[in-house]
């Protein structure tokens, strides 16, 4: 998922898309608000804290896996690495160090943060052309002219694709194929199906950081959309939906509750939920099938010793 960074929350104070998604989502049945709205300033800080939790295995598992397999990545010299939703990824330097590309194109919606991390990377990797693109990669992304003739490696880590439904995921993979062009490669991180005993605590940790991350959405609605939602009338829920192969996050009303958002009245009964996130988990075949549906041919796949997370290299 694309992350907003410190200082950026202010920009969304009047975001009409946030307003529309919240008002429509609260009126819908079942009630649902897209997960992209978690990432205001506080939400981004909480997400960073989540990635360091003992229960949240994906970040450290993928980072260790990338360190291990990076030398095996067969990427042509002089390539351009294009990272989708670069955020504050600590994984990028690992890839840049072992591939030694000619150019690095981080794409992120968070302009200030994107420019800052591009400056830091340019300082750490002298000789590398760092060409940030401020864009929402859910819309068409124009790549910089400087990388036009270069072989491309798309990088989409973190199992961010899991936060999309299958239709959105396939659409995005197809769009990436068009943007990166003929002969491109894609290195994508995908979280694997595993026991709910591992999955549920990863999204409902003992310290309550994920609960705070989820509840922060209500706080954001109160702050930015003149809401009167009583946060103490809601609790965080993380549920494994086996049929849909995903962790679902919900905010559950613990009592009957009435509140307003931008002057509109809403009421919920005890036990009713607002669905706030899906995090899909993939089997080996399902992951490959989705890549193929998105126009990519998987060529290599690596996983950690426990088989919890996979990195897949695919060709256009």
R_g (Cα) of the chain, nearest Å: 20
CB-neighbour burial class of residue 200 (10 A; exposed 0-12, middle 13-18, buried 19+): middle
Closest approach, Cβ 249 to ligand AVI, in A, equals 6
Nearest CA-CA partner of 192 in 52, 55, 70, 61: 61
Nearest CA-CA partner of 276 in 249, 307, 299, 243: 249
Rule CB under 6 A: say whether 203 interacts with ligand AVI. Answer: yes
Closest approach, Cβ 238 to ligand AVI, in A, equals 8
Rule CB under 6 A: say whether 50 interacts with ligand AVI. Answer: yes
Out of 103, 279, 287, 288, the only residue in the binding site for ligand AVI (CB under 6 A) is 279
Site string for ligand AVI, 236-275 (x = CB under 6 A): ----------------------------------------
| Nearer residue to ligand AVI within complex by CB, 205 or 224 | 205
| Nearer residue to ligand AVI within complex by CB, 61 or 152 | 61
Out of 83, 108, 248, 277, the only residue in the binding site for ligand AVI (CB under 6 A) is 277
Rule CB under 6 A: say whether 57 interacts with ligand AVI. Answer: no
Rule CB under 6 A: say whether 234 interacts with ligand AVI. Answer: no
Nearest CA-CA partner of 110 in 221, 6, 217: 6
Measured over the CA atoms of residue 16, residue 22, residue 27 and residue 33, the dihedral's sign is positive
Interstrand relation of 309-315 and 185-191 (parallel, antiparallel or unpaired): antiparallel
Rule CB under 6 A: say whether 89 interacts with ligand AVI. Answer: no
Binding site for ligand AVI (CB under 6 A): 1, 50, 58, 158-160, 162-163, 203, 210, 277, 279
């Amino acid at each position: 998922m694309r992350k907003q960074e410190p200082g950026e929350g202010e920009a969304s104070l009047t975001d009409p898309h946030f307003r529309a998604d919240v008002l429509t989502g609260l009126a819908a049945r079942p009630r649902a608000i897209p997960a992209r709205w978690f990432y205001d300033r506080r939400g981004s800080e909480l997400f960073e804290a989540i990635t360091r939790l003992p229960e949240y295995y994906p970040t450290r598992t993928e980072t260790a896996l990338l360190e291990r397999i990076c030398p095996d990545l067969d990427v042509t010299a002089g390539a351009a690495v294009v990272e989708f939703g670069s955020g504050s990824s600590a994984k990028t330097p690992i890839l840049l160090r072992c591939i030694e590309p000619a150019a690095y194109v981080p794409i992120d919606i968070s302009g200030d943060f994107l420019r800052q991390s591009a400056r830091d990377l340019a300082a750490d990797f002298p000789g590398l052309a760092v060409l940030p693109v401020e864009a929402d990669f859910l819309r068409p992304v124009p790549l910089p002219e400087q990388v036009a003739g270069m072989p491309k490696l798309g990088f989409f880590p973190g199992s961010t694709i899991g936060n999309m439904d299958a239709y959105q995921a396939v659409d995005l993979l197809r769009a990436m194929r068009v943007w990166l062009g003929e002969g491109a490669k894609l290195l994508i991180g995908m979280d694997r199906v595993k026991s709910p005993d591992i999955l549920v605590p990863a999204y409902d940790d003992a310290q309550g950081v994920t609960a705070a991350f989820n509840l922060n959405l209500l706080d954001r609605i109160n702050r930015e959309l003149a809401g009167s939602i009583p946060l103490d009338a809601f609790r965080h829920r993380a549920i494994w939906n086996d049929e849909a192969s995903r962790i679902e996050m919900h905010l559950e009303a613990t009592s009957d509750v009435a509140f307003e958002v931008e002057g509109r009245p809403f009421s919920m009964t005890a036990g009713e939920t607002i669905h706030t996130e899906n995090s899909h988990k993939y089997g080996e075949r399902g992951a490959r099938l989705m890549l193929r549906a998105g126009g990519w041919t998987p060529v290599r796949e690596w996983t950690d010793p426990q088989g919890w997370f996979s990195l897949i290299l695919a060709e256009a």
